[in-house]
Amino acid sequence: MFEDMNDNTMNRPYRKYIQRIEEMERMLRVLSKELESVQYMPLYKNRVDDFLEHDTELSLDPLEDELRGIYDRFIRFQSNNEVITAELNAAVEELHVVWASLAGGMVGDSGLEAPLLDSGEGRSYAKLHGMQFSNIAGVIDLREQETFARTVFRATRGTAFTHFTEITEDDPRNQAEQKSVFVIYFQGDAATSAMAAKLTRICKAMGVRLYDWPVSTAEGTARSRALESTIADKTAALQGFDRIMRDEARILLQPIRMGGNSRIEEWKLFCIKEKSIYATLNLFEGVTTLRADCWYPAEDEDAIRHVLAHASFGGSARASAMLVTDAAYTGKAPPTFIKRNAFTDAFQELVETYGVPHYKEFNPGVFTIVTFPFMFGVMYGDVAHGAMLLSVAIYALLNADRSGSTATVPCTRGCPMLGICSLVWGFSLSMLASCIMTSYLSALVSLETLAMKTLNTSVQAPAMR
């Protein structure tokens, strides 16, 4: 445990390194969230021992450059994917508008569909007498269809006609949300009339996408073919994007070595290690020669000196370190250090929720290993629940050891004891209850027999006289 030598000056010379590592951790979180959608490849993690054996294979600067390049590619791919998806959705909606116009026969055309009142000069009777009709078309959510129809009716005072065509579910290109195509017919020019401006404002207020309504069957057919080609191109682009994302995800999820973590998990562990190192170096004082006060167990002094000597002379580092003991230190009280293992860790955590014993005080965690399962069995004594708890604990332990995960081992080490105590107390309480019930029933039968004998004696007594 290191003491902060810069507590008064708040000098943190390595804060820039910590900021760089925090930025790397942010990028790793974004990449991890993107990789959650890749379900076909497993993620290997929590293999800390293997990482510590090969932690010298990674370096901060090259890893930062590589990670930033991958992150920039992911962000660029994601942005392009969003743009292509939006364009694809717009093309699908416009195609449904065109299909609705062609299916309903609601487009103007020559021949049999030509207007009956025609001036013979290329202009219809309606246009000559100021009876021109226009339309506004688009796609709206099916849940807002009734609200939209009522709003248009009230805003136009019933002078506009709205027609809806639901997008059927059997269409393979239909989107996830149920939508419908609408077309509003009103009198006036679509470009200059006040009615058109009012209807356009209503559509924008309700978040409706507007599309051009075909003016003829030929135009509708041509637009339908062009939109189908656009949809095919956008779909192919999205499939290509998905393949690229899968290739990038495969690189990040595959183990960096046999029996090791996935590449992205290896980078996460490296960031955690480097950040803790620089956070510890911020506690040191000095410029060229760093110094800090620390507490360590007396029995580990030889091991610490051996590690420092190996790092100074046996390794490839250009710096040296030494440990100078100060037995006459009379400053702060020494901190409490309690050794733990995978079995005692859960019980020690339970004790420390109430308080940490002072230096050289007795640790109640030793008694808690025995008393807590005992009291748990007394309160939770049940054969069925104890058997289930024991089964779940054994299953969790086997899976944790098999996958190399150490995150849940400290908690599950003590669970078998809880299950065993519950089973023992369940059997004990069951036997005690059976004995009590047997004794109670026996006493009840004895009292009933005695009462019957007394009654018979009292009934037969007058006859004996």
State whether 434 and 405 are in the same domain: yes
- Summarize the confidence of residues 293-311 as an average pLDDT: 84
What's the alpha-carbon Rg for the chain, to the nearest Å?
40
State whether 6 and 96 are in the same domain: yes
- Please report whether residue 201 resides in a domain: yes
CATH (domain of 180): 3.30.70.120
- Please report whether residue 334 resides in a domain: no
**Token output for 8:** 């008064």
Each residue of 10-38: b (16+ CB within 10 Å) or e? eeeebeebbebbeebbebbeebeebbeee
- Percent with pLDDT over 70 in the chain: 79
- Summarize the confidence of residues 50-63 as an average pLDDT: 86
- Give the CA distances from residue 79 to residues 67, 201, 285, 324, 428, in Å, rounded to whole numbers and listed in that order: 18, 30, 46, 56, 65
Spatial separation of the C-alpha atoms in residues 89 and 95, rounded to whole Å: 10
Spatial separation of the C-alpha atoms in residues 100 and 92, rounded to whole Å: 12
- Summarize the confidence of residues 163-176 as an average pLDDT: 64
Spatial separation of the C-alpha atoms in residues 133 and 274, rounded to whole Å: 72
State whether 161 and 89 are in the same domain: no
- Please report whether residue 272 resides in a domain: yes
CB distance 68 to 76 below 8 Å: no
Give residue-wise pLDDT tens across range 401-454: 555 554 455 556 677 888 888 888 777 777 776 677 777 667 766 766 766 666
State whether 236 and 204 are in the same domain: no
CA pseudo-torsion sign 239, 240, 245, 246:
positive
**Token output for 271:** 């960031």
Q: Is 295 helix (H, G, I), strand (E, B) or coil?
A: coil
State whether 2 and 92 are in the same domain: yes
Between the ranges 222-231, 298-307, 395-404, where is the mean pLDDT highest? Answer: 222-231
Residues spanned by the domain of 179:
130-213
Predicted pLDDT at 119? 44
Q: What is the mean pLDDT of the chain?
A: 79
CB distance 126 to 133 below 8 Å: yes
**Token output for 463:** 């006859």
State whether 91 and 28 are in the same domain: yes
- Please report whether residue 55 resides in a domain: yes
Is the pLDDT score of 105 beyond 90? no
Question: For the residues of 336-366, what is the DSSP string, one character each?
Answer: P-----TTTHHHHHHHHTT-PPPTT---THH
Is the pLDDT score of 372 beyond 50? yes
Contacts of 326 (CB under 8 A, 6+ apart): 293
Is the pLDDT score of 236 beyond 70? yes
Nearest Cα residue to 419 out of 442, 444, 388: 388
State whether 200 and 141 are in the same domain: yes
Give residue-wise pLDDT tens across range 86-102: 889 888 888 888 888 88
Helix and strand totals (H; E) in the chain: 14, 4
CB distance 195 to 143 below 8 Å: no
User: Model confidence at 198, in pLDDT bands (50, 70, 90)?
Assistant: confident
State whether 206 and 232 are in the same domain: no
The count of domains in the chain is 3
Instruction: Give the residue from 154, 181, 213 where a domain finishes.
Output: 213
State whether 159 and 245 are in the same domain: no
State whether 75 and 135 are in the same domain: no
State whether 439 and 358 are in the same domain: yes
CB distance 387 to 419 below 8 Å: yes
- Please report whether residue 353 resides in a domain: yes
Is the pLDDT score of 172 beyond 50? no
Burial class (CB in 10 A: 0-12, 13-18, 19+), 77: middle
Please give the order of strands across the beta sheet that includes 161-166: 161-166, 179-187, 133-141, 209-211
Spatial separation of the C-alpha atoms in residues 73 and 67, rounded to whole Å: 10
Nearest Cα residue to 213 out of 63, 96, 42: 96
- Please report whether residue 57 resides in a domain: yes
Predicted pLDDT at 26? 93
- Please report whether residue 465 resides in a domain: no
Beta bridge partners of 210: 138
Chain centroid to CA 231: 32
Predicted pLDDT at 436? 74
AA letter at 167: I
CB distance 347 to 372 below 8 Å: yes
Instruction: Give the residue from 286, 308, 335 where a domain finishes.
Output: 286
Give residue-wise pLDDT tens across range 116-156: 444 444 444 444 445 567 888 888 888 888 888 898 888 88
- Please report whether residue 110 resides in a domain: no
What is the number of alpha carbons within 13 Å of residue 457 lying toward its C-beta? Answer: 6
Is the pLDDT score of 177 beyond 90? no
State whether 2 and 90 are in the same domain: yes
CA pseudo-torsion sign 203, 209, 211, 213:
negative
Instruction: Give the residue from 166, 189, 213 where a domain finishes.
Output: 213
User: Model confidence at 274, in pLDDT bands (50, 70, 90)?
Assistant: very high
Predicted pLDDT at 272? 92
